[in-house]
A and B are shown apart, each in its own frame.
Chain A
Amino acid sequence: MGPIEALMADRIRIPIESEGDIVTARQHARALARHLDFSPSDRIRLVTAITEVARNLLDHSTGGEILLSLAAREEEEGVVIVGRDHGPGIPDVERALRVGFSTRGGMGLGLAGVRSLTHEFGMESRVPDGTTVTAKRWVGGLA
């Protein structure tokens, strides 16, 4: 079953345990973006957002999974990205979204970058259950 068929059925679930899984997630995202008629540059933005969610799962956690599904509202279509890790949760979500914050060095652009590249963004974290990031990007809309 191809990614689009899987999406139509329910949603795509991609475990993120290694860098290779990031490539898989990117592949699915790119196929989905093409299917939904995203512009070439928006395609790259969507793929970038998913890449950063996946990177975040690897960098700040012991891995997790990404769920991709279609979103629809009125006459718009879009993609919902959900990233879930296996804990330990972030005590201060606001701080995690601040530029420069990273518990393991690096630029700390990650989740702030995801927020900047999507139309809707949310993050929930519960110690010790783990963190869930949800982002939506509509076809068209902001550049």
Chain B
Amino acid sequence: MNDVHILLAEQYREALETYLTSADESGLWRAYDLGRQSLQSGIGVLDLVLLHRRVLDRRFEDPVTPAQVIRLVDVEGAADFLLEALAPYEMAQRVLQEETDDLLRRTERAQEASTRHQRALGRALAAVDRLEQERRRLAADLVDAEEKERQRIAAEVHDDSLQVLSALDLRIQTLVRAEGDGERRGALESAQEIVRLASDRLRCLVFDLRPPELDRVGLGVVLRASLERLSAESGIEIDLQDEMESPPPPDSGIVLYRIAQEALANVRRHAHAGTAVVTLSQQDGGFLLQVRDDGRGFDPAERAGQSSKHFGLTVMRERAETVGGWIRVESLPGKGTVVEAWVPGQEWTKDGPGTTPGSEGPR
């Protein structure tokens, strides 16, 4: 009991005494008001009834006059007073009941809404999932189609164009032999050289389009041949560090080879680099290709979107993802560029999700 409670108890006692002396509406109003104050100051309904009883008990203890004795038995008056004092408690109980019912109804509605939203979200996520699968499938188809088209063109060039040039070469050779020394022989020999140059270039094209014997001689060896040619043509010093102990699966090998080609084409076209280092290694149960140059680099944030198109990053990424791998490009203006591509060591099924621990740009 705090001071407020003691004060209220005293006021209650006085008001009840007064009411028992002269029962009128203002006494009942007082009872009601005290009941309201009790409720407001946290006095429990049982406390209030016990307080009421204590006040009555005390009247029984020291009856003084016969008139008081008669009023002692004014049970009805005391009860009316108590009922008025309890009326605010009933009101509060009713209001709280209404509030509780309302809260329960609203909670129920909120739960229903939440369930609906969750279902909608689940459907949306499933749709996103299906679209992502569809996208991957299309990307895989695209990469596959591109590879097939390259093979077809390579076969065409190899089996047709190169044969024709070879025949031409033989014919010129025959003509050269038939000629004595002289101006015509020189002209023929020069024509023969042009034909051979064209043949060489077409062979390079065939080699690029369809790297021969990737699974037989290994990625490192094929890449080295390619790099040497690029180095000779571009003047960029290119170093290959082959730390692979076993060859990647054929599909993954092709992917790494194509990404290396694309990355090196970028180095040649855009980087203004003096040197580039290509590293092949084994990591996290897969194979990692790293192409690092000392060129002018770029700001990936600034050129997000356009750079990915420009540098064929999208195509490189699609390629990596078709075998369950990933690609990461890090670059800063003036600090060169690093392209990393990882492919899994095991054959990858297209249903499984690709692991993508990194993303394009510096971390």
Tell me the dominant secondary structure on chain B's binding face: helix
Minimum distance in angstroms from A8 CB to a CB of chain B: 22
Partner of A51, one of B32, B83, B92, B99: B32
Which stretch, B23-31, B170-178, B326-334, touches the partner chain A?
B23-31
* Cα–Cα distance between A41 and B86 once the two chains are bound (Å): 11
Known: A23-B25, A26-B25, A107-B39. A48 touches B95 (CB 8 A): no
Q: Are B98 and A112 in contact (CB under 8 A)?
A: yes
| Cross-chain contact A116 with B29 (CB below 8 angstroms) | no
B40 touching A48 by the CB < 8 A rule?
no
Complex CA distance for A26 and B96, rounded to whole angstroms: 24
Told that A26-B29, A27-B25, A107-B39 touch, could you supply 7 new A-B pairs with CB distance under 8 A? A19-B29, A23-B26, A23-B29, A48-B87, A51-B32, A106-B40, A113-B95
CB contact under 8 A between A99 and B28, given known A44-B87, A45-B90, A48-B88: no
Closest Cβ neighbor of B35 among chain A residues: A48
A117 close to B (CB within 8 Å): yes
Interface size of A as a range: 20 to 34
| B293 close to A (CB within 8 Å) | no
Query: Is A52's CB within 8 Å of the partner chain B?
Result: yes
The reply to whether A52 and B91 contact each other, CB–CB distance below 8 Å, is: yes
Is the C-beta of B94 less than 8 angstroms from some C-beta in chain A?
yes
Could you tell me the distance between the alpha carbons of A99 and B99 in the complex, rounded to whole angstroms?
Answer: 8
Closest 5 CB pairs of A and B: A116-B94, A113-B91, A48-B87, A27-B25, A23-B26
A22 within 8 A of B: yes
Chain A residues with CB under 8 Å of chain B are 19-20, 22-23, 26-27, 30, 40-41, 44-45, 47-48, 51-52, 99, 106-107, 109, 112-113, 115-117
A69 to B9, CA, bound (A): 37
CB <8 Å contact, B26 and A117: no
Q: Which B residues, 29 to 43, have Cβ-Cβ distances below 8 Å to chain A?
A: 29, 32, 36, 39-40
Residues of B within 8 A of A109 (CB): 88, 91-92, 95
Majority secondary structure of chain A interface residues (helix, strand, loop or mixed) = helix
5 inter-chain pairs at a CB distance below 8 angstroms, sorted by A residue, are A23-B29, A26-B25, A45-B90, A47-B87, A48-B88
State whether A45 touches B87 (Cβ < 8 A): yes
Give A51's nearest chain B residue, CB to CB.
B32
Hey, which chain A residues are within 8 Å of B88, CB to CB? 48, 109, 113
Q: Which residue of B lies closest to A24 (CB)?
A: B25
Given the complex, which residues of B lie within 8 Å of A22, measured CB to CB?
A: 29
Q: Which of A20, A48, A112, A116 contacts B32 (CB 8 A)?
A: A48
List B52-104 residues whose CB lies under 8 Å from chain A: 83-84, 87-88, 90-92, 94-99
Please state if B98 and A116 are interface contacts (CB–CB under 8 Å): yes
Interface size class of B (residues with CB under 8 A): 20 to 34
Smallest beta-carbon distance B221→chain A, Å: 81
Please report B residues at the A interface, Cβ cutoff 8 Å.
25-26, 28-29, 32, 36, 39-40, 83-84, 87-88, 90-92, 94-99
Bound form: Cα–Cα A45–B88 in Å: 9
In the complex, chain A residues whose CB is within 8 Å of the CB of B87? 44-45, 47-48
Is the pair A26, B28 in contact by a Cβ cutoff of 8 Å?
yes
Q: How far is the CA of A51 from the CA of B87 in the complex (A)?
A: 11
Residue from the list A47, A113, A115 in contact with B92, Cβ < 8 A: A113
Chain A residues lying within 8 Å of B92, measured Cβ to Cβ, are 107, 109, 113
Q: How far is the CA of A19 from the CA of B33 in the complex (A)?
A: 11
Interchain nearest-CB distance for A101 vs B (Å): 12
Contacts of A52 in B (CB 8 A): 91
The reply to whether B91 and A117 contact each other, CB–CB distance below 8 Å, is yes
- Asked if B94 contacts A51 (CB within 8 A), the reply is no
> What residues of B have a CB within 8 angstroms of the CB of A27 in the complex?
25
Closest to A52 in B: B91
Residues of B within 8 A of A117 (CB): 91, 94
CA distance A51 to B88 in the complex (A): 10
Chain A residues with Cβ below 8 Å from B26 are 20, 23
Pick from B28, B39, B40, B91: contact of A116, CB under 8 Å: B91
Question: How far is it, in angstroms, between the C-alpha of A116 and the C-alpha of B95 when the chains are bound?
Answer: 6
Please state if B29 and A112 are interface contacts (CB–CB under 8 Å).
no
Give the residues in chain A near B32, CB-CB below 8 Å: 48, 51
In the assembled complex, which residues on chain A have CB atoms less than 8 Å from the CB atom of B25? 23, 26-27, 30
- Bound form: Cα–Cα A107–B38 in Å: 12
Q: Given the complex, which residues of B lie within 8 Å of A47, measured CB to CB? A: 28, 87
A41 proximity list for chain B (CB < 8 A): 83
* A142: nearest chain-B partner, CB-CB: B94
Contact B98 A44 (CB under 8 A): no
In the bound complex, residues from chain B placing their C-beta under 8 Å from that of A115 are 95, 98
